[in-house]
Amino acid sequence: MAGRRQGPVRVDALKNREHLLRVAHDAFAEDGATSLNVIAKRAGVGAGTLYRHFPTREALILAVYRHDVERLVGEVDQVLAENAPLDAFRVWFERLAAYVRLKHGLGEALHTVAAQKVISDTYAPVAGAVARLLEACERDGSVRPGLDAADVLLLMGFLWRVGPGEEGLAQARRIMELAIDGFRP
């Protein structure tokens, strides 16, 4: 009997974990100092449930970070399906920039050794996503062949360094177009 209950319990545990990650993402977006107890309450679970999945604040922050990056990387195909390749490039980089600005709001929590390992581990999938976008743009002739995804990712880093608000977003769009002009054949 116990073996039969493992499936549903495991599915419930995975659903709880996903729900906790979404709630924590939103809470950290509002205030990087949000407590774990507040997150548990907002998620509608007890603190014990939260701590079973994420025993420390750092563990939760890193799980949210990893989850968010996986989600962004996973959106590339959908963004490409919904947009012309160069527009998909723009849309995806705007989403990445919005996320990185949120991540910076978490402050010191992402400057530990464990955090740096997670950030390092997520670099390759992000560079892979950029490579897929560039390949689509190459195929339709909107960028020149041979652009290196790592170089483009480094160059596009300006997106998360612009100022806040509409002025910052407008500046980011202008600079993105300058960069894209440099990618053209």
Q: What is the pLDDT of residue 65?
A: 85
DSSP character at residue 162: S
pLDDT at 55 over 90: yes
The pLDDT value recorded for residue 62 is 87
Work out the angle at residue 184's Cα, subtended by the Cα atoms of residues 73 and 161, and round it to the nearest 5 degrees.
Answer: 50
Question: Confidence band (pLDDT; 50, 70, 90) for 29?
Answer: confident
* Sequence-ordered list of residues with C-beta below 8 angstroms from that of 155, at least 6 positions apart, any chain: 179
Confidence of residue 33 (pLDDT cuts 50, 70, 90): confident
The pLDDT score that the predictor gives to residue 88 is: 98
**Above 90 in pLDDT, residue 12?**
no
- 123-182 confidence digits (pLDDT tens): 999 999 999 999 999 999 999 999 999 999 999 988 888 888 899 889 999 999 999 999
pTM of structure: 0.80
The secondary structure of residue 148, as a DSSP letter, is -
Give, for 18, the enclosing helix (H) or strand (E).
helix 2-30
Q: Enumerate the H helices of 31-164 as residue ranges.
A: 36-43, 47-53, 57-74, 76-82, 85-104, 113-139, 149-155
Query: 160-172, pLDDT tens digit by residue?
Result: 888 888 998 899 9
Per-residue DSSP letter, 120: H
- pLDDT in the model for residue 31: 83
How does the average pLDDT of the chain come out, rounded?
87
Amino acid 19: pLDDT: 92
pLDDT of residue 17: 87
The answer, yes or no, to whether residue 103 has pLDDT greater than 70, is no
For residue 130, give the nearest of 96, 181, 84 by alpha carbon: 96
